[in-house]
Every structure is written in C-alpha cells, then in structure tokens.
C-alpha cells in the first residue's frame, strides 16, 4: 500500500506541475511580484533616503544619520507649517465628524424630500476635481480675507472631509438594526436617549473611522492647500510642495517618513479594528 501511495504522490506531483507550475504560471507570478514591488517601492524608498549622510539625493544612501530629522524639528518654518496643519486637521476632524454624523443619520434614517439628490450633493466634493474646487474657493474667499489663515482652511478642509464621514457613518448606520432603537423606545427611552444610549454606542466604530478619514483628508490635503496658503498660514503639504519644487534636500525624506508613519499608524489602527470587529466586509 505504501508503495502505491508513493507512486500516486509522484503522479500527483506530475499533474500539479503540468497544470500548475508551467512557464505561464511562473510568468504570472513574476509579473504580479513586479506590480506589487512597483506599488510598495515609493513608500519604502523614503525611509533609507531620510537617514543617508549625503546632503543630496544619492543611491544607495551612505552612512546613517538622524541629522535630517533634527533639521526638520529645529527649522521654525517646518515646525510652524506642521503645527498649522495639525491645528487645521484637529478642527476639521471635530467639525466634519459632528456635521457628517448628523447628516448621515438624516440621510439613512430620516424622512427627507429629495434624498437621492442630497446624497449626490454630499459626495460631490469627492467627484469634482480638487483643482476646480481650489481655484473656485480662492476666487470667492480671497477677497474676504479667508485665505492664508486658519479659518479659511478650517472651512475648506471641513467641506472636503465631510463626505468621508457621511459615507463611513452612513455605512455603519446601515449595518445597525433599527429594531434595537425601537426596542429602546419601547423601554421608555426618548428619541434622544435612545440615540445616545443605543444608536451611538453601536455606530461608534464607524464614527471613529470617519473621524480618522477626516483627519487624514485634511492633514494630507495638498491641492486646495497649494492655492489658499499664504506666506504666514502655510500647511505642511504646501511647504513640502515648495521644497520639492525648489530645493530637494533629504529633510523632505525625513518629513515624508514622519507623515507616512502618522498615516500608516492611523489607517492601520482602523483596518485592524475593522477586521477585529468582523465588519471587514467591503471597502
């Protein structure tokens, strides 16, 4: 019997290699590997560039130094841009999360005339090219003195970020069983109590995810920031844009690494939370 099994194993191996590991398959795997490499390379490349000693971009980077990070943290113009961006992102997160959550509740659970149209309007800022929004915003808000300062940015970025909150919270509300809210009402809760005690705790992961999206939508936003930044009020993205365009120092690599770490940490946390909660169904 054992001999027969060995013979079978051999034949199985033959079939596998015929059906499985022929040249075409190797080529497919190789191609796939190349595409994945192409995808991940630019994110990975900035890390070694940020610790190389040479003051111009060279490859492979030589030596190891943290001086570009130190330069970043010591440079007042980088620091002020960073703080400016963080403050805007903070306010944007707060405003977009509140406004977006309220709207999502109405859009998913409310009786509204023209709901379809409203939903289309809500996602319009995602579809309209940001360059058009940027130019339009500048045209209207510059005369009001609302460019190059905190308030202009807060308005613009909240507008850009709010669709993400509506979509994320809307999806969470859709997964939420309305019968639970009815049960709360049946137990004697008012509409408001039912919302805070039953609905909100259940959609909280969605709200949190929406808040993170809003934060990153503001913090990483570059096109509108390029147009409405001023000499004083300048975001980190605008500062990066300028430096990339005019003087390509390894400090940019250090800033890039920091930005990437922030984004990856935030998004990675959401992704892990999403998988853990089992809601990791669709993207």
Partner 1 sequence: MPESSLAQPRIHGSPSSAGRYGTMTSLVLVSPLILLLGIAFAYPVGRLLWNSVFAPEPTLAHYTRIVAEPLYLVVLWRTFQIAFIVTVLAFLFGYPVAYAMARIPGRRAMLIAACVLVPLWTSILVRTYAWIVLLQRNGIVNTVLQETGLTETPLQLLYTQGAVILAMTHVLLPFMVLPIYSTLRNIPDDLAKAARNLGAGAPQAFIRITLPLSLPGAAAGTLITFILALGFYITPALVGGPRTLMMSTLIAQQTTELLDWPFAGALSAVLLTSTLLLAALYRRALSFSKGFSNG
Partner 2 sequence: MHGASVSLRELGKRYGCVRAVDRVAIDIRPGEFLSLLGPSGSGKTTLLMMVAGFELPDSGAIWVGDRDITLVAPNRRDIGMVFQRYALFPHMTVAENIAFPLRMRRFSKKKTMQAVADALALVQLGGFEARLPAQLSGGQQQRVAVARALVFEPPVLLMDEPLGALDKKLREQMQIEIKRLQQSLGITVLYVTHDQEEALTMSDRIAVMRDGRLEQIGSPAELYDAPATSFVADFIGKMNFLEGECLGQDARCFEITIGRSSTIVVDRHLASHEALPQRGERVRLAVRPERIELTPHKNQKLSGIVESVIFVGSSRTFLVRLAGGELLHVQSQTTRESYSPSQGERVGLSIPSDCVHVFPQAEC
Residue ranges that bind partner 2, judged by CB under 8 A = 1, 4-5, 8-9, 11-12, 15-16, 19
104 touches partner 1 by CB under 8 A: yes
Contact 225, 153 (CB under 8 A): yes
Whether residue 179 contacts residue 153, with contact meaning beta carbons closer than 8 Å, is answered with no
**Does the footprint of partner 1 cover residue 168 (CB under 8 A)?**
yes
Minimum CB separation from partner 1 for residue 38, in Å? 7
126 binds partner 1 (CB under 8 A): yes
Residue that has been written with the tokens 């890039």 in this structure: 256
Q: Going residue by residue from 204 to 243, which x/- string records binding to partner 1, judged by CB under 8 A?
A: --------xx--xx--x-xx--xx---------x--xx--
Cβ(43)–Cβ(253) under 8 Å? no
Nearer to partner 2, 8 or 244 (CB): 8
Closest listed residue to residue 92, CA positions, set 269, 212, 225:
212
- Choice from 88, 89, 105, 251 touching partner 1 (CB under 8 A): 105
Pair 103, 122: CB distance under 8 Å: yes
Q: Which is nearer to partner 2, 14 or 265 (CB)?
A: 14
Instruction: Tell me the closest approach of the beta carbon of residue 9 to partner 1, in angstroms.
Output: 23
Can you tell me the distance from the alpha carbon of 182 to that of 189, in angstroms, rounded to the nearest whole number? 9
Answer left, alpha or beta for residue 188, where phi above 0 means left and psi between -120 and 50 means alpha. Answer: left
Nearer to partner 1, 87 or 275 (CB): 275
**Could you tell which of partner 1, partner 2, none binds residue 249, using a CB distance below 5 to 8 A set by kind?**
none
The answer to whether the beta carbons of residues 240 and 257 sit under 8 Å apart is no
Binding-site member from 88, 91, 108, 207 for partner 1 (CB under 8 A): 108
Of 13 and 248, nearer to partner 1 (C-beta) is 248
CA dihedral 129, 135, 138, 140 (to 10 degrees): -90
Shortest Å, Cβ 161 to partner 1:
9
């Amino acid at each position: 019997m054992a001999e027969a099994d060995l013979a079978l194993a051999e034949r199985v191996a033959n079939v596998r290699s015929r059906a499985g590991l022929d040249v075409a398959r190797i080529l497919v795997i190789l191609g796939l590997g190349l595409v994945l490499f192409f995808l991940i390379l630019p994110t990975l490349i900035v890390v070694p560039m940020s610790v190389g000693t040479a003051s111009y971009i060279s490859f492979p980077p030589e030596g190891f130094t943290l001086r570009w990070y130190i330069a970043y943290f010591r440079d007042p113009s980088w620091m002020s841009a960073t703080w400016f961006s963080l403050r805007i992102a903070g306010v944007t997160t707060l405003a977009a999360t509140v406004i977006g959550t309220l709207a999502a509740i109405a859009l998913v659970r409310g009786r509204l005339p023209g709901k379809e149209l409203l939903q289309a309007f809500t996602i319009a800022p995602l579809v309209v090219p940001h360059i058009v929004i940027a130019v339009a915003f500048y045209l209207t808000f510059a005369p009001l003195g609302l460019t190059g300062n905190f308030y202009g940015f807060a308005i613009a970025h909240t507008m850009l970020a709010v669709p993400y909150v509506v979509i994320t919270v809307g999806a969470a509300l859709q997964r939420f069983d309305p019968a639970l809210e009815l049960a709360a009402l049946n137990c004697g809760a008012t509409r408001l109590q039912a919302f805070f005690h039953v609905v909100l705790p259940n959609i909280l992961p969605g709200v949190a995810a929406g808040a993170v999206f809003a934060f990153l939508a503001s913090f990483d936003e570059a096109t509108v920031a390029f147009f409405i930044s001023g000499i004083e009020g300048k975001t980190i993205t605008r500062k990066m844009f300028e430096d990339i365009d005019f003087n390509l120092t390894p400090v940019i690599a250090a800033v890039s690494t920091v930005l990437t770490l922030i984004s990856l940490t935030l998004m990675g946390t959401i992704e892990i939370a999403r998988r853990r909660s089992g809601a990791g169904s669709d993207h």
